[in-house]
């Protein structure tokens, strides 16, 4: 797989999204987030993943502006938080996020969680926002097969993306196939298991064979499964390390070994339990 930081995936509405982005969950508002985003942009990242609930949209926007890069060169995602779900409140929440970011539009706006009873109204709002040009693409996050099927039965617009937790310790091929069948790109969040499994000897062994770090192997695993991937770090050296994944490849045997590590490890909430 030929890959670099400029490699993109074409979403189902023709919008291109860089395959690798920087996540900023738990990057503290203020200088920590600004510094992380600045480091990423200098390293060549062109995709930043934030959310209303991360409380750092303002710093993401500021760092992108400070970089001097043209707005259209950076792909920015934010997300609708659970307490803002519903038609009118979702419209308002998007405007609030745009104001915080200091942007006229976001590249991707996601429903953060499939909140029962309100997610379909929220989706109608996202369809409106897409039509009005406030987002270039809309999608969902933490949607399992049953949430997707319910949405697809009523939606006018098919979600461009489903952002879900995926890594070798939480590998859900049936969900990935389901998304592929519907034309929905998958973004892997917490691809580094939030740091919990970076010393797992089986991952470390694969990494050693390639002369790479465990983090690089986990990121590469996502990419070779055709996922978009958004590792988080606030350290410039790690931000660079996490992006240096284009100059090696995991073999089919490496991939099989890593696929075999699944233990349904959710490092965050488990969306399968959401009715
Ligand atoms: N849609 C959703 O519900 C969710 C979306 N996300 C998104 O996905 C992004 C990534 O997931 P996240 O949960 O943050 O976790 P990750 O799996 O990306 O892991 C981040 C952790 O790994 C550490 N780390 C990063 N790079 C390295 C490295 N090279 N070597 C060693 N340690 C490293 C970081 O520390 P340090 O920063 O100190 O370097 C941090 O503690 C989020 O930031 C967010 O944008 C995440 C959770 C839920
Ligand atoms: O993106 C996320 C990170 O933080 C939230 C909790 O505070 C998660 O629920 C969410 O999925």
**Mind listing the pLDDT tens digit for each residue in 158-170?**
999 999 999 999 9
The predicted-structure confidence for 259-271, as pLDDT tens digits, reads as follows 999 999 999 999 9
CA of 249 to the centre of ligand 2 (A): 31
User: Mean pLDDT across the stretch 16-39?
Assistant: 98
Residue nearest to atom 1 of ligand 2 (CA): 25
Q: Is 54 in the active site? A: yes
Q: Which ligand is nearest to the CA of 168?
A: 1
pLDDT reported for residue 12: 98
pLDDT reported for residue 2: 52
pLDDT at position 209 over 70 = yes
pLDDT reported for residue 4: 73
User: Mean pLDDT across the stretch 180-200?
Assistant: 98
Domain architecture of the chain: domains with CATH: 8-262 (3.20.20.100)
pLDDT reported for residue 53: 98
pLDDT confidence of 5, banded at 50, 70, 90? confident
User: Mean pLDDT across the stretch 34-58?
Assistant: 98
Q: What is the DSSP string of the chain?
A: ----TT-EEE-TTS-EEESB-EE-TTPPTTHHHHHHHHHHHHHT--EEE--GGGT-HHHHHHHHHHHT--GGGSEEEEEE-GGG-SHHHHHHHHHHHHHHHT-S-EEEEEE-S--TTTHHHHHHHHHHHHHTTSEEEEEEES--HHHHHHHHHH-SS--SEEEEE-BTTB--HHHHHHHHHHT-EEEEESTTGGGTTTT-HHHHHHHHHHT--HHHHHHHHHHHTT-EE--B-S-HHHHHHHH--SS----HHHHHHHHTT-----SS--GGG--
pLDDT at position 275 over 60 = yes
pLDDT reported for residue 186: 98
């Amino acid at each position: 797989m030929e890959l670099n930081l400029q490699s993109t995936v074409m979403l189902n509405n023709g919008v291109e999204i860089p395959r690798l982005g920087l996540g900023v969950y738990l990057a503290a508002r203020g200088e920590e987030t600004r510094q992380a985003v600045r480091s990423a942009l200098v390293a060549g990242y062109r995709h930043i993943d934030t959310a209303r609930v991360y409380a750092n949209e303002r710093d993401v926007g500021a760092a992108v502006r400070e970089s001097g890069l043209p707005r259209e060169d950076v792909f920015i995602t934010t997300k609708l938080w659970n307490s803002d779900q519903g038609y009118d409140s979702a419209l308002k929440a998007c405007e609030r996020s745009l104001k915080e970011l200091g942007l006229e539009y976001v590249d991707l706006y996601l429903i953060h969680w499939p909140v029962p009873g309100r997610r379909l109204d929220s989706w109608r709002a996202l369809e409106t926002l897409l039509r009005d040009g406030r987002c270039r693409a809309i999608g969902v996050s933490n949607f399992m097969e049953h949430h997707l099927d319910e949405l697809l039965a009523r939606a006018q617009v098919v979600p461009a993306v489903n952002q879900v937790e995926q890594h070798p310790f939480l590998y859900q091929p049936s969900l990935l196939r389901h998304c592929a069948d519907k034309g929905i790109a998958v973004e892997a969040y917490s691809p580094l298991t939030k740091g919990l499994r970076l010393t797992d000897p089986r991952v470390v062994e694969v990494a050693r064979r390639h002369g790479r770090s465990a983090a690089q192997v986990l990121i590469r695993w996502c990419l070779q499964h055709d996922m978009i991937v958004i590792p988080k770090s606030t350290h410039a050296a790690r931000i660079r390390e996490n992006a240096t994944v284009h100059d090696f490849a995991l073999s089919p045997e490496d991939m099989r070994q890593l696929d075999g590590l699944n233990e349904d490890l959710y490092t965050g909430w488990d969306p399968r339990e959401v009715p």
